[in-house]
């Protein structure tokens, strides 16, 4: 291993500023536990001087019993014209009772003139006084050099004097911030190298993704000598987001040999990403490097064949290294070998010479003619194969469902579904009210099955797509419905096709429930 690189996660502070992200105190505690489990060095948990929620989090932070990470409170240097101990926001940082604080200060003379409207000397004093105040309190101080790259390009002497003020007062880390996210990798490397030559290895990097280069800029800074990397675990944050740590960590540790988190925790990267997305109530992007569901997905027959013979032909790392998995997508360009490999994941006895393989392939072709597509519906594909092999005992049978809609309606209560299912020799009637017929049907089905299969309590839909198969038939056209579900740990997608959108939705929905129960190894009732 090369040298240690400190990972500083700002999901709970910078990430919380992203559009559509809103963490409750319980959410913040959950995220902190995930990051501690992964083994990041620092968790920047918020600004106790800005809102009651962050204050409450720090008050309850003792519940976390952190094993690997240190919490950081975030705030600004003192205001102009007063002493650090007189600044209410500075004092608020002390109430967080953290071992470390992150302080941001101005490193671009434009901001000093137009935003702070003070002198350069007062700006440097604001930085030095605040850093010295917290060092006197025994804190580890991380100085976030705000707008450093823009400031350095505009006035390198001023930018370096700002760092000198922080370093001279005892700052432990000088984190160079590409606050506007417009820097390029080459200039980040050159400027970081100049700072490292002046101040030594106490240099960090904090980049934003406005130019789409936050990860590249962070990596280049490390190669130039930075030993501290800031970002958010899934890359969300203000505007276009922050540097994505779920990409940076494996790039540095697996590709370049730096030590970012404990090596034994590397296979937890994907699980952590999925859990983080669940807490943040967002979809984890399929195409996310390393941790996305498509990161190791192969569709073309040539690619699939190559991977089966030697995975290095079309994969840059083994997906197991980050806790992800290889996927073969079923489509018209899939080869026989890829289909077989996919089947053998849950039916390892099937071989190329097995007569069952031809039965499965024929059924796949028949279903595709009807409009089914299994490329993105692994759940329905597995159920289809199990049915062909006679290895699927139905967990329930639909007796009937009825759906009524209402307009005008109360928000999120536009439809009511009533259904009856048969589970073994028992029947169950349930109703559900929801935002549209599919949501109502989903609630009714899970309500009916909850007493038989308690594990369904954690299952919910995260995506729903409808595609018209032949637009020429207008409203009489057959439709394909894809439903993605999650239990908070795993995601799966199922498909249904019919001339009625609700019937197609039912097919995908019932497959979703069946797949969850099969995956959990639940024994069918009856």
pLDDT at position 284: 85
33: which residues sit within 8 A by CB, 6+ positions away? 64
Residue 445 has pLDDT above 90, yes or no: yes
The confidence score (pLDDT) of residue 332 equals 45
pLDDT at residue number 134: 96
Burial of 410 (0-12, 13-18, 19+ CB in 10 A): exposed
* Tens-digit pLDDT profile for residues 103-161: 999 999 898 888 888 998 999 999 999 999 999 999 999 999 999 999 999 999 999 99
Least confident of 183-192, 419-428, 447-456, 459-468: 459-468
Domain 6-261 fold: TIM Barrel (3.20.20)
Query: SS3 breakdown of the chain: % helix, strand, coil, rounded to 5?
Result: 45, 20, 35
Is the pLDDT confidence value at 304 over 60? no
Task: Read off the pLDDT of each residue in 481-510 and give the average, rounded to a whole number.
Answer: 90
pLDDT for 411: 74
Q: Is 80 exceeded by the pLDDT of residue 340?
A: no
Region of 229 please: left (phi>0), alpha (psi -120 to 50) or beta.
beta
Residue 165 has pLDDT above 90, yes or no: yes
Burial 115-137 (b: 16+ CB within 10 A, else e): ebebeeeebbbbbbbbbbbbbee
Please give the residue that has the higher pLDDT: either 474 or 28: 28
Q: Give pLDDT, residue 12.
A: 95
Q: What's the pLDDT at 291?
A: 94
Domain 396-452 has CATH 3.30.160: yes
C-beta separation of 377 from 494 below 8 A: yes
Domain parsing of the chain, residue ranges: 6-261, 297-388, 396-452
pLDDT band at 500 (very low <50, low <70, confident <90, very high): confident
pLDDT the model gives residue 338: 66
- DSSP line for 207-242: EB-TTS-HHHHHHHHHHTT--EEEEBTT---STT-B
What is the C-alpha to C-alpha distance for residues 483 and 494, in angstroms, rounded to an integer?
5
How high does pLDDT run on average in the chain? 89
Per-residue pLDDT at 333: 45
Strands (E), 268-360: 297-298, 327-328
pLDDT at 476 over 70: no
Residue 71's closest CA among 98, 38, 39? 98
Look at the pTM and tell me if it is higher than 0.85: no
Question: Which ranges in 81-147 belong to alpha helices (H)?
Answer: 88-95, 109-111, 120-136
Among candidates 138, 206, 198, 125, which has minimal Cα distance to 172?
A: 138
| Whole-number Å distance between alpha carbons of 15 and 237 | 4
Residue 324 per-residue DSSP state: -
């Amino acid at each position: 291993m090369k040298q240690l690189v400190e990972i500083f996660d700002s999901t709970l502070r910078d990430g919380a500023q992203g559009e559509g992200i809103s963490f409750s105190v319980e959410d913040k505690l959950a995220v902190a536990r995930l990051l501690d489990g992964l083994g990041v060095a620092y968790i920047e948990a918020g600004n106790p001087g800005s809102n009651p929620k962050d204050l409450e989090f720090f008050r309850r932070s003792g519940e976390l019993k952190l094993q690997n990470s240190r919490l950081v409170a975030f705030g600004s240097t003192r205001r102009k014209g007063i002493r650090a101990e007189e600044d209410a926001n500075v004092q608020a940082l002390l109430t967080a009772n953290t071992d470390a604080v992150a302080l941001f200060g101005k490193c671009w003379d434009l901001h000093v003139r137009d935003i702070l409207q003070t002198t350069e000397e007062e700006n440097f004093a604001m930085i030095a006084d605040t850093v010295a105040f917290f060092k006197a309190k025994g804190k580890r101080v991380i100085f976030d050099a705000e707008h450093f790259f823009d400031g350095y390009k505009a006035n390198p002497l001023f930018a370096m004097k700002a760092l000198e003020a922080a370093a001279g007062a005892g700052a432990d880390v000088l984190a160079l911030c590409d606050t506007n996210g417009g820097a390029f990798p080459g200039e980040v490397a050159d400027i970081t190298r100049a700072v490292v030559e002046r101040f030594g290895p106490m240099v960090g990097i904090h980049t934003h993704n406005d130019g789409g280069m936050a990860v590249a800029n962070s990596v280049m800074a490390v190669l130039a000598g930075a030993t501290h990397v800031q970002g958010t675990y899934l890359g969300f944050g203000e505007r276009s987001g922050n540097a994505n740590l779920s990409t940076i960590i494996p790039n540095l540790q697996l590709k370049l040999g730096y030590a970012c988190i404990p090596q034994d925790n590397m296979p937890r990267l994907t699980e952590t990403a999925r859990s983080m997305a669940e807490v943040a109530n967002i979809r984890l992007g399929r195409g996310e490097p390393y941790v996305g569901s498509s990161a190791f997905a192969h569709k073309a027959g040539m690619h699939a064949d190559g991977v089966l013979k030697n995975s290095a032909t079309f994969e840059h790392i083994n997906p197991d290294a980050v806790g992800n998995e290889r996927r073969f997508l079923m489509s018209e360009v899939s080869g026989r070998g890829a289909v077989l490999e996919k089947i053998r994941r849950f039916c390892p006895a099937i071989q190329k010479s097995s007569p069952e393989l031809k039965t499965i392939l024929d059924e796949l072709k028949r279903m595709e003619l009807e409009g089914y597509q299994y490329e993105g519906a692994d759940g329905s594909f597995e159920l289809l194969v199990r049915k062909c092999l006679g290895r699927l005992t139905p967990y329930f049978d639909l007796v009937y469902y009825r759906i009524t809609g209402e307009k005008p309606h109360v928000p999120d209560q536009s439809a009511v579904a009533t259904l009856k299912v048969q589970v073994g020799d028992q029947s169950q009637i349930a109703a559900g009210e929801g935002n549209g017929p599919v949501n109502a049907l989903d609630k009714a089905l899970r309500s009916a099955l909850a007493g038989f299969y308690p594990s369904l309590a954690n299952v919910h839909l995260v995506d729903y797509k409808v595609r018209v198969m032949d637009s020429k038939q207008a409203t009489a056209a057959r439709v394909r419905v894809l439903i993605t579900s999650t239990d908070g740990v795993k995601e799966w997608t199922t498909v249904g096709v019919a001339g009625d959108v609700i019937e197609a939705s039912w097919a995908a929905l019932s497959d979703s429930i069946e797949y969850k129960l099969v995956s959990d190894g639940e024994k069918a009732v009856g």
